[in-house]
Amino acid sequence: MANNHNTKNEQEGKETVEFFRDLDKEALNIESFLEKNAKTLSIGFGVLIVAVLGWFGYQQFILGPQNEEATKSYLVAQKNLSEGKEDLALGGKSVANPGFIGTFEEYGSTKAGKLSAYNAGLIEFKKGNYQKAYDLLDKFNSGNKVLVALKYGAMADCLANLNKADDASAMADKAASASDDAYTSYYFTKKAGMLALALKKNADAKKYFAAIDEKYQDYDNGQSDAFIEMTKYY
């Protein structure tokens, strides 16, 4: 039994790393990140999660005994999203097409309903409706710490785009500490550090990058040293 448990944990760890590698494929590069202010820094992050969260969220939430109608409604919205039909995926305008909004409003107590609030928030983010996005994301909760970290990371993006820089930094810090998964913590610690650097909070940025250098060298490939050096000049 112990060996099976270890094998499962190792597999889940590999899946988490692959998930974040997918995020990194379309993440903003460092030069663009530092050239722009906080409002434009994090747009790519939220948009990208909309594209890749479908399979991850489905694995974490939908598999297993769930409310059948909520699940069906969620999957219809997810299919529309995967086909690029974002307005249909968002829904909320008719009973015939509940979308993520309608699924959350009707089945908010189910896991599928809660995940629908998350996805709806990310679509609103992509549309530039940052306050709506923040409010929807804030309604999402989960016992899965990786998804909670994703929630806080997206909420930090919303706050940055609402020109609430200090609040954005605080939320990014919550994302960095939300999960005990090593790669998740690394990813959001780096994000928090880059946000702090872009906001000219160099002391905070140095703290985050130093933490990466101390705890997450296996994932960082020495990049944190370069970021620490940047805190001297930006």
Cα angle, residue 156 at apex, residues 42 and 198 outer, rounded to 5°: 50
Cβ neighbours for 55, distance < 8 A, ≥ 6 positions apart: none
Of the candidates 159, 195, 186, the one whose C-alpha atom is nearest the C-alpha of residue 23 is 186
pLDDT in tens, 12-32: 444 444 544 444 443 333 334
Which pLDDT does position 135 carry in this prediction?
96
pLDDT in tens, 100-129: 999 999 888 888 899 999 999 999 999 999
Which pLDDT does position 183 carry in this prediction?
87
Of the candidates 202, 150, 192, 147, the one whose C-alpha atom is nearest the C-alpha of residue 172 is 192
| Cα(16)–Cα(59) distance, integer angstroms | 12
| Cα(212)–Cα(231) distance, integer angstroms | 15
The larger pLDDT score, comparing residue 34 to residue 49, is at 49
Length of the chain equals 234
Which pLDDT does position 56 carry in this prediction?
57
Which pLDDT does position 32 carry in this prediction?
41
Which pLDDT does position 158 carry in this prediction?
92
The larger pLDDT score, comparing residue 66 to residue 164, is at 164
Quick check: 3 pLDDT over 80?
Answer: no
pLDDT in tens, 139-184: 998 888 988 999 999 999 899 899 898 898 899 999 999 988 888 8
| Cα(125)–Cα(120) distance, integer angstroms | 9
Decide if 122 contacts 130 (C-beta within 8 A).
no
Of the candidates 205, 216, 215, 208, the one whose C-alpha atom is nearest the C-alpha of residue 34 is 205
Quote the pTM value.
0.70
pLDDT in tens, 189-230: 988 988 888 888 888 888 998 898 888 888 877 777 777 777
Quick check: 99 pLDDT over 90?
Answer: yes
Which pLDDT does position 34 carry in this prediction?
38
